Amino acid sequence: MSWFKRDKQGILTSTEEKLEVPDGVWWQCSSCKKTIPTSDLTDNRYVCPNCNYHARINSVEYFDIIYDEGTVKKLFEDLEPRDFLGFNDLKSYKDRLVDTKKKVNVTEALTVGSGKVNGHKLITCCMNFNFIGGSMGSVVGERISKAIDHCVEKKYPLLIISKSGGARMMESAFSLMQMAKTSAKLTQLAAAKLPYISLMTDPTTGGVTASYAMLGDMNIAEPKALIGFAGPRVIKETIGKDLPKGFQRSEFVMEHGFLDFIVDRKDLKSRLTDIVELLMNKSEK
C-alpha cells in the first residue's frame, strides 16, 4: 500500500511532497536538466518543451487545463480531515494536518471540480500530491462518494485524476476502507450508465491503484507516469534484483493491457471531449 515511499527520507519530507510548479523566473527540468524560463513551462501546460517531461501538478493547474475558462467551481470543500484516532508517530497527525494546510493551496489530497469541457459538463475529482503525499484519507473517499452522487443525480460523466503514494496510515483502517467505499460507489455510477474516465498521473500507487484508478470505463495515463500497486523499492527488496528499465511506467502498463491509451497533457482536453461526446452521444449533429 503505502510501501511506495519506504525510503530513508520517509513519507513526509518536503522533497517528496514538493510540487514541480515553479515559483521563480527559471525552472530546471528534473528529466533533461535543461533550465528554461518559467513562463515557457506554464505556457506549455507544465510540460517540458525540450523533452516532453510532464511535471507534477495538482488540481489547481489541471482544472485550468481541462475546463473552459470561468466555468469551474469546487464542490464539497467544507469536508475536512479529522484526527479521529489520535495518531502519533514522530509527529501527531493533528499537527501534520495543521502544518500541511499552512503550506498548500488545497484543503485535502483530492479536490472536486464541476465545470464545462468544450461545453460539456464534467465532474472531476483531482488528487493533490502536495497534501500528505496524495494519500487516501476519509475525506478523499467521501468527496469521491459525494461527487458520484452528484453525477448520478445530474447525469454527468466523472473524471478522476489519480496521483497518490497510497494509503494514509494515520487514518489506519479508515484509509483502507476508502478503497471499498469508492469501489462500492462506482457500482452506482455504472448502474446509471454514466461514463467514468480514470486518468493516472505520476505517481499512482498502492490503494488508489487497487481501487478507483483501475476501475474506469476507460483507464488512461499521462506519459511515463509511475503506475503500480507495490512500490518499486519494495518489489526490488522482495525479488532481490534490479527492476527492468521502464518498469511500472505508463508505457509498460499499457503494453501489459491495463490502459486504453496514453495522453499527452496538450491533448487531454480534446481527448476528454471525444470520450464524453462518443460515450454520451453528444456530438453536434
Binders of another protein among 107-136, rule CB under 8 A? none
Which of 170, 158, 32 is CA-nearest to residue 95? 170
Query: What 3-state DSSP class applies to 146?
Result: helix
Q: Which stretch binds Zn ion (CB under 5 A): 25-33, 55-63, 100-108, 160-168?
A: 25-33
61 contact, one of Zn ion, another protein, none, CB 5-8 Å limit per kind: none
Query: What 3-state DSSP class applies to 68?
Result: coil
Query: What 3-state DSSP class applies to 170?
Result: helix
Q: For residue 4, what is its C-alpha cell?
A: 511506495
Q: Give yes or no for a contact between 228 and 209, defined as CB atoms under 8 angstroms apart.
A: yes
Report H helices in 108-256: 138-154, 172-191, 206-209, 232-239, 250-255
* Least Å from the CB of residue 28 to Zn ion: 9
Binders of Zn ion among 78-117, rule CB under 5 A? none
* Least Å from the CB of residue 58 to another protein: 20
Q: For residue 3, what is its C-alpha cell?
A: 510501501
Q: Which stretch binds Zn ion (CB under 5 A): 52-60, 185-193, 240-248, 262-270?
A: 52-60
Residue with cell string 473517499: 141
Interaction of residue 229 with another protein, rule CB under 8 A: yes
Q: 32 vs 10, 27, 50, 280, CA distance in Å?
A: 26, 12, 8, 40
Q: Which stretch binds another protein (CB under 8 A): 26-34, 77-85, 153-161, 277-285?
A: 77-85
Show the site string, 37-76: x = touches another protein by CB under 8 A, - = not: ----------------------------------------
Interaction of residue 50 with Zn ion, rule CB under 5 A: yes
* Least Å from the CB of residue 226 to another protein: 11
Show the site string, 240-269: x = touches another protein by CB under 8 A, - = not: -x-x---xx-------xxx-----------
From 26, 32, 192, 264, residue interacting with Zn ion (rule: CB under 5 A): 32
Interaction of residue 55 with Zn ion, rule CB under 5 A: no
73-75 and 110-117 strand pairing: antiparallel
Query: What 3-state DSSP class applies to 257?
Result: coil
Q: Give yes or no for a contact between 213 and 160, defined as CB atoms under 8 angstroms apart.
A: yes
Nearer of residues 36 and 254 to another protein, judged by Cβ: 254
User: CB-hemisphere CA count at 13 Å for 187?
Assistant: 5
Amino acid at 152: V
Interaction of residue 195 with another protein, rule CB under 8 A: no
Nearer of residues 51 and 243 to Zn ion, judged by Cβ: 51
Amino acid at 53: Y
Q: Give yes or no for a contact between 87 and 113, defined as CB atoms under 8 angstroms apart.
A: no
Footprint of Zn ion on this chain (CB under 5 A)?
Answer: 29, 31-32, 48, 50-51, 53
Footprint of another protein on this chain (CB under 8 A)?
Answer: 1-3, 5-6, 8, 10-11, 78-82, 84-85, 87-90, 138-139, 141-142, 145, 167-169, 171-181, 183-188, 190, 206-207, 209-215, 227-231, 234-235, 238-239, 241, 243, 247-248, 256-258
